[in-house]
C-alpha cells in the first residue's frame, strides 16, 4: 500500500497542472532555462556596471550636464566659489525641464550615495525625488499634483503663493528642505519641519503651477523673524523673483501688524539679496515719498527696524542708485491680491 501511494504521488508531481489548458509545446519551459551563455553575459554586464560606479566615486571625475534654458529665460546666478569638496554624491538635479548643477551636498538617504552619473530626478509639483529616468517617467504618468499642497493665499496674474504647513504636509516640506540644501551652504533644517510655515511661489502655465522659489518662517517667533530660510532656483534667479519673495515676506508681517526681520546672521547670498532689495526699496521711497522726510519717518513708512537697514544690510556711502519710474525693482507684492487674515 505504501509503495502504491508513493507511485501515485510521483505521478501527481510529474503531471502538468496546465495540461488541460496548454499544449505540450506551449507548456515546455526548456527555452527559458538559464544557460551558460546567459551567465557569461550577466557577469560581463555586472563587471561593466561596477567599473562605471568606480569611476563615479573616483575623486576628480566629473559628469557635468549643461543647464537647459528655455527661450527668453534670463541668465542664472553663477554658482558660488567651490568649497574644495568636488566629490558630491548628487551633482545634477533634473527638475522639470531643467538639468541643474548642484552646489552643495544634501543629506539624502544612503541608497542615493552611488546613483548612476550622480543625477537625481525630482517632480516639480510634489517634490518626490527618484534615482532613475524610468522611475521619474512612471511617476510623471501617475502624479496628479499640479501645484504645491496647502492654501493658495496670493494670486496676481500667473504668479501664485501657497502656504504649506510643515505639520500637515510633512513629506513635501522635508523634500523642499532637501531641495534647498543643494543650493544653500548654511541650510540646517531638514526633517523637523512641524514648527514652520513654508511659502512656495509658483508661476502658472497650461500644465500647472511650476515651482520658482520659497521662504519659510517659524509659526511662533519671539523675535518677530519673518524669514528663516529663502531660496530661488538657480534657473529662476536674476529675474526679480528673490525681491518678490522678500517683498511678500514683509507683506505678511504688515498683515500681522508686526515689524518683521529675517533670521541672522545672514548667509553671503542672503545678505546680497537683502542689500539689493532694501537699496531699491529705500531709493524708490525717497523718489516717490514726501518732499521732507526723516530717517525715522522713512523706517516707520517701510515698517522695518532701522538698525538692520543701516547696519549691516544697506550702505549708501559713495553709492548712486537710479530707480526707473515704472519698472523700479520689478514686480511688488500687491496687498489687494493677498487673500489671508492673521489667525
pLDDT for 262-308, tens place per residue? 888 777 778 888 888 888 877 777 777 677 766 666 666 665 554 44
**139 plus 151 within the same structural domain:** no
- The range of the structural domain enclosing residue 323 comes to 146-337
What's the mean pLDDT in 33-40? 86
Residue 331 placed within a domain: yes
Alpha carbons 196 and 297: distance in angstroms, whole number: 33
**114 plus 188 within the same structural domain:** no
Rounded to the nearest 5 degrees, what angle is found at the Cα of 227, between the Cα atoms of 222 and 231?
155
Task: Indicate whether this model's pTM tops 0.75.
Answer: no
Residue 159 placed within a domain: yes
Residue 60 placed within a domain: no
Look at the chain and report how many structural domains it folds into: 2
CATH number at residue 244: 3.40.630.30
| Residue numbers annotated as active site | 263
Alpha carbons 91 and 120: distance in angstroms, whole number: 8
Alpha carbons 14 and 16: distance in angstroms, whole number: 6
Band of pLDDT at residue 213, cut at 50, 70 and 90: very high
Residue 71 placed within a domain: no
Rounded to the nearest 5 degrees, what angle is found at the Cα of 241, between the Cα atoms of 136 and 126?
25
- Of 66, 140, 73, which Cα lies nearest the Cα of 99? 66
CA distances 263 to 111, 162, 224, Å, are: 33, 21, 9
**314 plus 325 within the same structural domain:** yes
pLDDT tens-digit map of 150-180 = 999 999 889 999 999 999 999 999 999 999 9
**161 plus 291 within the same structural domain:** yes
Amino acid at each position: 500500500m505504501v509503495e502504491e501511494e508513493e507511485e501515485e504521488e510521483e505521478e501527481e508531481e510529474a503531471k502538468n497542472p496546465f495540461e488541460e489548458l496548454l499544449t505540450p509545446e506551449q507548456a515546455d519551459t526548456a527555452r527559458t532555462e538559464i544557460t551558460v551563455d546567459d551567465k557569461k553575459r550577466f557577469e560581463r554586464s555586472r563587471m561593466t556596471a561596477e567599473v562605471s560606479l568606480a569611476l563615479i566615486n573616483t575623486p576628480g571625475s566629473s559628469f557635468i550636464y549643461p543647464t537647459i534654458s528655455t527661450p527668453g529665460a534670463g541668465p542664472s546666478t553663477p554658482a558660488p566659489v567651490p568649497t574644495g569638496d568636488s566629490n558630491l554624491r548628487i551633482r545634477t538635479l533634473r527638475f522639470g525641464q531643467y538639468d541643474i548643477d548642484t552646489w552643495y551636498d544634501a543629506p539624502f538617504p544612503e541608497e542615493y550615495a552611488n546613483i548612476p552619473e550622480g543625477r537625481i530626478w525630482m517632480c516639480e509639483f510634489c517634490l518626490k525625488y527618484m534615482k532613475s529616468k524610468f522611475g521619474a517617467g512612471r511617476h510623471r504618468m501617475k502624479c496628479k499634483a499640479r501645484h504645491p499642497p496647502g492654501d493658495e493665499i496670493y494670486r496676481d496674474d500667473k504668479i501664485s503663493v501657497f502656504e504649506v504647513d510643515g505639520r500637515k504636509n510633512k513629506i513635501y516640506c522635508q523634500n523642499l528642505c532637501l531641495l534647498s540644501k543643494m543650493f544653500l551652504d548654511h541650510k540646517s533644517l531638514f526633517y523637523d519641519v512641524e514648527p514652520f510655515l513654508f511659502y512656495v511661489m509658483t508661476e502658472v502655465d497650461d500644465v500647472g503651477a511650476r515651482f520658482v522659489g520659497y521662504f519659510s518662517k517659524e509659526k511662533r517667533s519671539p523675535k518677530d523673524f519673518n524669514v528663516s530660510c529663502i531660496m530661488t532656483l538657480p534657473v529662476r534667479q536674476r529675474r526679480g523673483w528673490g525681491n518678490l519673495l522678500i517683498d511678500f515676506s514683509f507683506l505678511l508681517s504688515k498683515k500681522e501688524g508686526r515689524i518683521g526681520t529675517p533670521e541672522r546672521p545672514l548667509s553671503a547670498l542672503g545678505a546680497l539679496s537683502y542689500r539689493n532689495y532694501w537699496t531699491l526699496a529705500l531709493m524708490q521711497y525717497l523718489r516717490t515719498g514726501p518732499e521732507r522726510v526723516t530717517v525715522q519717518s522713512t523706517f516707520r513708512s517701510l515698517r522695518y527696524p532701522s538698525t538692520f537697514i543701516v547696519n549691516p544690510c544697506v550702505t549708501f556711502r559713495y553709492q548712486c542708485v537710479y530707480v526707473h519710474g515704472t519698472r523700479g525693482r520689478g514686480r511688488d507684492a500687491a496687498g489687494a491680491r493677498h487673500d489671508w487674515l492673521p489667525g
